[in-house]
Amino acid sequence: MLLIRDVDSILTLDAGRRILERHSVLIDEGKILRVGDAATLDRDHLDTVRNAGNVIEGAGCVVLPAWVNTHVHTVEHLSRGLIPDDLATFDWASRYATPFCASLTEDEAYISARLACLEMIANGTGTFVDCNVLASLGHLDAVAQAVEESGMRAVLGRGVTDILPPAKQTMPDALKAAVWHPSTEAALAEVDALLSRGTERAKGRIRLWASIYGLMFFTSDALFRGIRELADRHGAPVAFHIASSREEAALSESRTGGWPIGHLDRLDVLREDMLLTHCTLVTDEEVSRLADRGTKVAYCPGAALRLAKGTTRVGKIPEMLDAGVTVSLGADGVSSSGTFDPLRLAYLAAGLFKDSRMDPTMVPAETALEMITIEGAKAVLAEDSLGSIEEGKRADLTLYDTGGPEWAPGHDVVRTLVYSVDGRSVRTVVVDGVVIHDNGHSTRFDERDVIDAAREAGARIASRLGLDLRARWPLRAKGETSNSRWLEDSRGIRGLGG
């Protein structure tokens, strides 16, 4: 048993969006057993829990449902800081991100995923979606191993493709083989093999979905249809990237006569059990289709900004919200976005459309907070068990220490969270009733070991691929006198072309 007692404020995110002051949460066998005022729960349970459980004092804390981050690439984590920030989506992926991620060994995928989990937990995240594991099922097993050790909850899947665009055809054969299947059947067979091994691991904390990498560049209509059929056969939901960029919209126009979401609807693959990432380039008509079909969206504001996707120019997130589409938030990869703090994503979601529409009523702070809690839970089809603090739900909670200056004076806790707070004040994270982060540190990982292994592996991979940092500022090592290491003429990954 675990009692989180006498909390300053519990943001329940329940149907009434109640904020409970001086209340406690009693947890047993991974579930929230009771939520009630502190005095009552003390009277009924404190002695029992002190004798045979764990008591966490909640005074000076705000408690929320652990964040749900609905789009992540854990195998990208070792590329942090490597990729220049002057590339749009297609060049960014073709020249850097895809070759980098495809080149990882299974052990390096494990090291990368451990780092990603450590960072996500430190920012208060309980659940994430990574349906983009490149390379092989062995790599996916390595990521799952890291998730299992972390204590987190995750939705995992393979990011298969069946079209290799010309820009990627210059990749070495081994890397090509890792990110591309020579036929639709081969791509589907690999996902089929994954799901045939079962759609749950780690006692249900890990779920396997039918996924493809997506985007019109990399996916034939046969693969869009095939993954839908495969998902229905296994009773698994579907996830992939779509409608990500201007380049993809243009390709879709030339291939189908319209933009991607409308095309997917004509292929009759949009359903309620589908989570689509980005959805930046969508028409009003397509927003209606998403709403009609109940299809969920993982919006990645950080990646939209860094990769110049046009979210503030053409994005339809306010229209999706008005139409009743489930819009959740994703960090995307560490090299396409950079931040793995859901509060930073919520801040972007709340702010971007206020500014771009010059209308401060766009995406209130409360809506942004829902996107990383209850709407995130809906996006992973787990609203019955996650996303709010209610009796009977799984015990996934995050405690923030409100002692720091960014919390004071804290008139409204929601606005304070979304506009001022970040992961530095995360004190404790509980997933499935287990404390996986406490007093600001992981209880599951040797943090130094995870970070040191990541630094060593990141350097090794960059050197193995001949990666060029293309730093714009001169870097001088100790004793060096010239600017010889300033690589101003470099062109991404050497030998891969640009």
Can you give the binding site for Zn ion, defined by CB under 5 A? 332
Measured distance CA(216)–CA(247) in Å, rounded: 10
The least distance separating Zn ion from the CB of residue 75, rounded to whole angstroms, comes to 11
Q: Bridge partners of 417?
A: none
Instruction: Judge whether 345 and 331 are in contact, CB under 8 Å.
Output: yes
CB 25 to Zn ion: min, Å: 34
| Least distance between Zn ion and beta carbon 278 (Å) | 7
Say if strands 441-442 and 434-438 run parallel, antiparallel, or are unpaired.
antiparallel
Nearer to Zn ion, 74 or 103 (CB): 74
Residue 335 CB, shortest distance to Zn ion, in Å, is 10
User: Which helix or strand (DSSP H or E) is residue 128 part of?
Assistant: strand 125-133
The minimum distance between CB 116 and Zn ion, in angstroms, equals 13
The residue among 214 and 351 lying less far from Zn ion, judged by its C-beta, is 214
Return the number of the residue (213 or 400) whose C-beta is nearest Zn ion: 213
In angstroms, give the least distance from the CB of 210 to Zn ion: 17
**Shortest-Cβ-distance residue relative to Zn ion:** 332
Identity of the residue, 132 or 398, whose beta carbon is nearer to Zn ion in the bound complex: 132
User: What one-letter code names the amino acid at 312?
Assistant: T
Least gap, CB of 129 to Zn ion (angstroms): 10
Cis, bond preceding 409 (omega within 30 deg of 0) = yes
Whose structure tokens read 């070759």?
99
Which of 225, 65, 220, 89 lies closest to 153, judged by CA?
A: 65
Q: What are phi and psi of 308, to 5 degrees?
A: 55, 50
Closest alpha carbon to 309 in 96, 89, 95, 83: 89
Q: Tell me the β-bridge partners of 5.
A: 57
Task: Identify which of 85, 77, 61, 70 has the alpha carbon closest to the alpha carbon of residue 5.
Answer: 61
Residue linked to tokens 């408690």? 63
